[in-house]
A = this chain, B = another copy of it.
Amino acid sequence: MSTVRIGIIGIGMIGEEHIRRCSQVLSGAEIVALFDLNTDRANDVIAKYSLDAHVAESAETLIHDPAVDAVFVTSWGGTHAAYVLEAIAAGKYVFCEKPLATTVSDCERIVAAEVDGGHRLVQVGFMRPYDSGYRDLKARIDDGTIGEVLMVHAAHRNPSVGDTYTTDMAITDTLIHELDVLRWLLNDEFVSVQVLFPRGTSVAHAKLKDPQLVILHTKRGVIADIEVFVNCQYGYEIRCAVVGEKGEVALPEFPAPVVRHGGAISQTVLMDWKKRFIAAYDTEIQDFINGVSDGKLRGPDAWAGYLAAATADACLRAQISGEIEPVSIISRPDFYKH
């Protein structure tokens, strides 16, 4: 395998994390070009990680640079669609952090462009299918232990969120992960959604209804109830239990020492998401690197990005209407049938 040369657009926290990963943790890649609106930031990161890389004049220059094999899009969400489309136009592999695009129509445009190009180039940054917990869960579903799946009970809890986090972001920033991973887990598709608002926590500010209870129906009739609670205070937890005809299989708790102390047996809960999925991020990016090297991407594709966006769109409508809202999906191109 020759080394995959990566150019990265947008160097915020997640962008820097991927730079660190490629240069210090993973195998087979090097960062060769960076672009950020803040050029100083780009230069600082080059210095910090001793990268043998240059700062590109523009995102477009970076994408078309022949010395760049693959592009990471880790810029602000609103810019994703344009950069991904540009990468497709340039015939470059592109890893785009979620969301693939901020509108369903932009996702459709990306899908159409990739199909037209005739070769799969896009991987979307949904890391949960790379998490060993979810993989083990899927293995137990697929091996038939619990029989046909009938229900899912899930929860996505954060200890707290900042002032800029609003009711819609519970869908587009938080639930979006469940929308992708459950579809993958169940090998099924969502057809309708309902959003319920329990009594709100007094901790949330006026523009955020928290918690929310999202109820999803799939094509095969599975109902998934998902609690999204982003100010739960006590910790960061991702829970998922899948109930089938013959039993249930659920994510285990994140491992932590079992402590007996002061009248209790306890295990620490994580307070943020980074440690929870750090290994999954490593596996995800290594898989992308390997996929570029092989000429064959295997991770979440543009169609997955589109489906998550279309389902999120229905959830946003359901937040407002209080009704059961259908999920509208265009017909799946043969290109994405595997």
With A50-B1, A247-B232 known as contacts, the answer to whether A269 contacts B263 (CB < 8 A) is yes
A16 within 8 A of B: no
Interface residues on A, range: 35 or more
Contacts of A258 in B (CB 8 A): 248-252
With A148-B202, A222-B199, A245-B202 known as contacts, the answer to whether A24 contacts B25 (CB < 8 A) is no
> A252 to B263, Cβ gap below 8 A?
no
Give this chain's copy count.
Answer: 4
> B257 to A136, Cβ gap below 8 A?
yes
A203 within 8 A of B: yes
- Residue ID in chain B nearest A135 by CB atoms: B257
With A233-B245, A269-B263 known as contacts, the answer to whether A196 contacts B215 (CB < 8 A) is yes
A227 within 8 A of B: yes
Give min CB distance, A247 to chain B, whole Å.
4
With A198-B222, A255-B255, A264-B268 known as contacts, the answer to whether A233 contacts B246 (CB < 8 A) is yes
A45 within 8 A of B: no
**Please, how many angstroms separate the alpha-carbon atoms of A172 and B333 in the complex?**
48
Query: Hey, what's the 0/1 contact readout for A138-157 against B, CB within 8 Å counting as 1?
Result: 00100001101111010100
Give min CB distance, A262 to chain B, whole Å.
6
**Please, how many angstroms separate the alpha-carbon atoms of A243 and B201 in the complex?**
11
**Please, how many angstroms separate the alpha-carbon atoms of A25 and B285 in the complex?**
11
**Please, how many angstroms separate the alpha-carbon atoms of A267 and B140 in the complex?**
11
> B211 to A151, Cβ gap below 8 A?
yes
> B269 to A264, Cβ gap below 8 A?
yes
Contacts of A253 in B (CB 8 A): 255, 265
> B245 to A260, Cβ gap below 8 A?
no
**Please, how many angstroms separate the alpha-carbon atoms of A222 and B227 in the complex?**
13
**Please, how many angstroms separate the alpha-carbon atoms of A254 and B253 in the complex?**
10
Contacts of A225 in B (CB 8 A): 153, 213, 225
A267 CB contact (under 8 Å) in B27, B229, B252, B257 = B252
**Please, how many angstroms separate the alpha-carbon atoms of A271 and B132 in the complex?**
17
- Residue ID in chain B nearest A286 by CB atoms: B25
Given A140-B257, A198-B223, A234-B248, 6 more contacts at CB 8 Å?
Answer: A25-B27, A137-B257, A199-B220, A232-B247, A237-B260, A252-B256
Contacts A/B (CB < 8 Å), 10 sampled: A23-B27, A199-B223, A202-B245, A213-B225, A237-B260, A249-B258, A251-B257, A251-B258, A255-B255, A265-B266
- The residues of A with any CB-CB pair to B shorter than 8 Å are 1, 23-28, 50, 132-133, 136-137, 140, 145-146, 148-151, 153, 155, 196, 198-203, 211, 213, 215, 220-223, 225, 227, 229, 232-235, 237, 243, 245-269, 271, 279, 286
